[in-house]
Amino acid sequence: MTNSNRLRTAFLAKQNHLLAALEIVPDLTGHGTTIGDDYEANWARVLREFLPARYGIAKGQVMDSQGGISDQIDLLIYDAQYTPLLARTANGDLFVPAEAVYAAFEVKQEMNKQFMEYAGSKIASVRELHRTSVEVPFAAGTYPPKPPIPILGGLLTTRNGWADLEGEAAVQAVLSLSGSRQVDIGCALRGVAFNRRNENTADTPEYSEPDMTLMFFLVRLFGRLQEVGAVAAVDVDAYMSALDLGDEPGS
């Protein structure tokens, strides 16, 4: 067996393992919230196993230094190396600074136009938050403030609701969302994964082969994370000012 065949076999095994975990959930419980939580947990586990440790994976909300807060996001990819987290709830959900976010994903059972639009709205609630950036000191001086990185938005599902994978319905469902609502990347394990490279164009998204959806998604996701590099350095003083952490009690 060649090395490329070994790699393909390994990814197919991971994909089948994830499918088995996702598809057993409805058989064990009829409770919608529990099913959703299990889908999210399985996707989070796969991302943690594949991505380097510098990327944190969690469910939660995103906050900015001006008091803005996003919708609840099923899966956030955030900087786990340089950016402090604001808080963790009793059930493990995070409040993540807006500056730390690499990507926001909605998790559903089926990929279709309705859920694509729903995911776009959730993603927009993250992208529209205020993000700070400050200089970063190093041995010979300081790096200037880095512009905030573009935040990836995606949709992760088990099934594909499009009858024609690369036909008009699939393309229009993806291209209909632009600006802060754009869905850049997604994966329907039993169907298709897609990667939209360009914004505000009519370019057809790139689609996976039906049997390699997970491999396509993970490799394309990591490539796009590599492209943006590190997140901008957060202005901690801006958050302190918003929280009045510098004031004396009773002032």
pTM of the predicted model as reported, rounded to 2 decimal places: 0.86
- Residue 187 contacts residue 212 (beta carbons within 8 Å): no
pLDDT, position 173: 86
Q: Active-site residues: which are they? A: 74, 106, 108
Tokens of 247: 């004031």
Tell me the pLDDT tens digit for each residue of 193-243: 999 987 655 678 899 988 888 889 999 999 999 999 999 999 988 988 876
pLDDT, position 25: 53
Specify the residue for token string 């993250």. 126
Low-confidence ranges of the chain (pLDDT < 70): 1, 3-4, 21-36, 89-92, 165-167, 199-202, 243-251
pLDDT, position 94: 84
pLDDT, position 93: 73
pLDDT, position 8: 80
pLDDT, position 65: 93
3-state secondary structure of 44: helix
pLDDT, position 226: 95
